[in-house]
Structures are given as structure tokens and as C-alpha cells.
A and B are shown apart, each in its own frame.
Chain A
């Protein structure tokens, strides 16, 4: 079996696999999946789902099969601009992905098909909408069969959403540890007692965990237990209602109202926006990562110009606010994501390769690091040289703001710690960054002590 060029995250599925060729991504459909693929394409389900932007569109292509003995078709799916993972999504993004999965399952049943897996990793965000990217997720619906992806849906969506809603928003990070979703018994143990008063959570999480315990070492004859189509629709309806009822409202977090309380005057903020816009226009990048984007004020300077922009922040409230704004405005070019730059998403899964690290998903044309350097250098004790090295690995162009020590925000960070940061000067900053970047512009932001730089990675 060949593995060269295969996408590491797609090897588990016997129906087919993804592979790269000439900078494009393809999917081999295996002979074993032939009947299901034909039904998807010929029943009208593919058209219904792609017309509704619920499933990624593809075209069949005639190129050499990587595994000819097993191949039925080769398809070329549309490219996703940036692959993100459930542990990088805000509450409403995970909720949107869950509801899209259930909507697809309902639509599939209308065409006598059913989703055979409901992994959150099969959902991606493109053009501001969540959609299914795994074309081989469908199988023929057999009368009487329950939903085979039910347990996976509970682990990938219902367990994390209920934990985020009922216990703590930061528990979405459990998805990073448990690659096949949060085990139901773990959610059962972590959820507060009051969650049992909601029937959907009582049934799909708490009793589900109990059932897993009861049947852990027992076998059942599955063919004996059949489920009518009506009951199956009842399950889907129940899961949908469970997900819709889960809410999370960010309240009084540190960053969500940052722009209302930061120490910029209106004129300084306008000047900073004007400079960032000028730098973007000068480089004209195809893609931008805004690191520490808060609610995306500066990210939108790029995305409003039609540039594919990822708006990263460490604060779940800021990402949630950013995402809801993007949804409300129908923005297609901005994708807010949760990211701790001091501990960015690692490569996880089999051979650390199934889900890519942040660095592996770069480099991006341009990164923006606005009002960020003091958090990395002072709060996280990362030397300038290491910050410059990291940034040079993820981008070709950089817009970065230097915030000097007398700035009130830096003083706030130093208030409760000893000032051991003798090297935190603008000269040291420029000297260390010059090792990795060529500084093409540096302009002081009027009405402040801060300086905005445009830098180009050396050797690009």
C-alpha cells in the first residue's frame, strides 16, 4: 500500500483516502465504496447538499490512481482555504458544525442514505459557513438500522458543547487530548448535577455513560434491535433540540471589550488603522493571519479587501464575539479561531500527523502582531530573538507593533512582577528582528509611544 503523498488524517477510512499531487488535493474512492458513491451521486443527494452549501463540491478527474487495484474513482474536491480543528473553534462555531451535521443527516435520510460517521473534523469553515468536507461519509440507509454515528456525535459535539455551556468554556481544550471526541463517561463525571434536569442531556450523556458501563463487557445481538425510520428521526430531532438549547454568553472577560478600554485616543487608533491598511495594500497578500486579533477590528482591514484572513485570539469570548459578528454581517473572508501563541496547536493523532500543528499549516503571506509583543516578551518571558524566529517560520511579511516599556499596558504587566526585562528596548527589538526580517518601514503611531513596523522575511 502506498503512503507517499497521502494526507495523514485520512488513512482510517476504508472507503478511500486523500492525497496530494502537483499542489492539488485529490480523493481516491475505493471499489468497496462504489455502491454508496453511486447512490450519493445519482440519487440527487449530492446536488441537494452542494446546492445548499452543506457538502464540499468536487469533480471527477481522470488521473493516474495512486492505488489502482482498489480505485473506483478519483475526485478533486474544492480546496478549503484553511483547515481548522474543533479545539480551535468558539462555542458558536462548534454549535454551527453540530447543527450542520444533523441537517446533513436529515437530508441524507430523505434520499435513503445516512452518515456513517459524524466526526467534527469532517466539518470545515469556508466562505463563512460550516460544511462537510468528507464526500465518503455516506452509506445506504438500511431499514431498521439505528444511526451508527450516534456515539461519535455525542463525543464530538454534545459532550464538549454541554461542558462549555454548563461547566467552563475552556473545556473545549479536552478535544485536543481526546482526538475521537470527549468520552461520554468523562462528560458525565464533569457536568454539574443540574444538567440532569434537562432530558436531552440526561439521556444522551448521563444515561448514555451508564449504558456504556453496563454493556462494557457484554455483547448484544444487534440485528435483534431494530429502529424505525420515525424513531431515527426522533433521535436526530432530539439531538438537534439538545444542541440548540445549549447557550454560552461571554460575560465580563478581560478582552472582549478591549477596544472600549484600551489606552489609544481616537486619533491614534485611526492612525494605526490607516498605517495597517497602507502596509496591507503595499504587500497585497493573498492570506493574512492576525495573531492576537481580539474581536477582529484589524483583521477586517484585510478581510474587507477580499483577503483570506484568520483572526486568532487566546480569549474564547473575543473569538465568539468575532465569529458572531462575521455571521451577522455575512462575512466570507474572515475566520476567527482560538489559539494560545505560547502553546499553539500541536500535531496530534497517529505519528503526530493526523491533525497538523499551526506551523505546518503555514507559512502565510502576511502575519499581523499588533499589541502583542509585550504579552509574549514579558508575560511569557520569550526573548525577542525567539519571537522573531517563530514569526519568520509562519509568515513571509510581518506587520508588528512595538510597545515601549513606559506604555501603561506594559506597566500593567510589570505591576506584579520584578522587572527583569532589561533587554526589552526598541533597539534590542530591531536588532533581534533584523536577524530574521528586513525592516522595510517603521512609523510611529501619532498620539502614542508605539511604533508600527512592516518587515519582510529574509530570503523571500
Chain B
């Protein structure tokens, strides 16, 4: 349920961002590439944060694992 709330909020935020990124100049031809470009920037704002947190946590985890592993090791004679 928590996931759903987070997803809905993220999706709403992305939808809110979209119109702010446009210049309202109309072209003669439809260009799906612009929409792909914009959605990528919008999604990146969210996944970039979660990716940063993921990397951050994995570094913390690695730090503690290394710390305990070192403590557990008996010094070689």
C-alpha cells in the first residue's frame, strides 16, 4: 500500500513537471522524440535520488561489513 502511495505521488509529480518544461511554440510535424526526452529528464529526477540512496546505503553496508570483518580477523603471527 505504501508503495502505491509513493508511486502515485511520484507519477503526479512527473505529470505536474511536464507542462513546465515546454515552450508553447507549435510545430508542423509531430515529434515523439521530444516527449521521450522530457519524460526521461522527469523520471531521472526521481530515480536519480533513489539510485543515490541505494548506492549510499550499499557503501554504508560495505563499510560496516569491512569493519566487522577486520575486527573478526586474528592478526597473523
Contact = CB atoms under 8 A, between A and B. Distances in A.
A421 interface: no
A218 B34 contact: yes
Interface in A161-217: 183-184, 197, 199, 202-204, 207-208, 210-217
Q: Is the interface of B mostly helix, strand, loop or mixed?
A: helix
A96 interface: no
B30 A217 contact: yes
B23 to A, nearest CB: 6
A199 B35 contact: no
B25 interface: yes
Given A216-B30, A217-B27, A218-B34, A227 B40 contact: yes
B43 A235 contact: yes
Interface of A: 146-147, 150-151, 154, 183-184, 197, 199, 202-204, 207-208, 210-222, 225, 227-228, 230-235, 237-238
B33 interface: yes
A230 B56 CA distance: 12
Interface stretch (B11-19, B57-65, B67-75): B11-19
Interface in B22-37: 22-27, 30-37
Nearest to A206: B11
Given A207-B39, A211-B39, A151 B33 contact: yes
A207 B49 CA distance: 19
A234 B40 contact: no
B47 A235 contact: yes
B22 A234 contact: no
B66 interface: no
A147 B48 CA distance: 13
Contacts of B33: 151
A250 B71 CA distance: 50
> Which of A215, A218, A232 has the most chain B CB within a 10 Å cutoff?
A215
A230 B51 contact: yes
Given A220-B23, A235-B47, A212 B11 contact: no
A218 B27 contact: yes
Contacts of B10: 199, 203
Contacts of A214: 18-19, 22, 35, 38
Contacts of B22: 214-215, 218-220
B3 to A, nearest CB: 8
Contacts of A222: 37
B39 A203 contact: yes
Nearest to B22: A218
Contacts of A216: 30-32, 34-35
Nearest to B4: A197
A225 B38 contact: yes
Contacts of A221: 23
A230 B15 CA distance: 22
Contact of B48 (A150, A151, A219, A228): A228
Contacts of A232: 44
Contacts of B26: 217-218
A233 B48 CA distance: 7
B61 to A, nearest CB: 17
Contact of A202 (B7, B18, B27, B51): B7
A183 B32 contact: yes
Contacts of B14: 203, 207
Given A207-B14, A220-B21, A220-B23, A215 B35 contact: yes
Given A151-B36, A207-B15, A227-B41, 4 more contacts: A207-B11, A227-B48, A233-B51, A237-B47
B47 A238 contact: yes
A238 B30 contact: no
A234 B32 contact: no
30 contacts: A150-B36, A151-B33, A184-B36, A197-B4, A199-B3, A202-B11, A203-B10, A203-B46, A203-B47, A207-B15, A207-B39, A207-B43, A211-B18, A211-B35, A211-B39, A211-B42, A213-B35, A214-B22, A214-B35, A214-B38, A216-B30, A218-B22, A220-B38, A225-B41, A231-B48, A231-B51, A234-B49, A235-B48, A237-B47, A237-B51
Contacts of A154: 36
B2 interface: no
A130 B76 CA distance: 46
B21 to A, nearest CB: 6
Contacts of B47: 203, 231, 234-235, 237-238
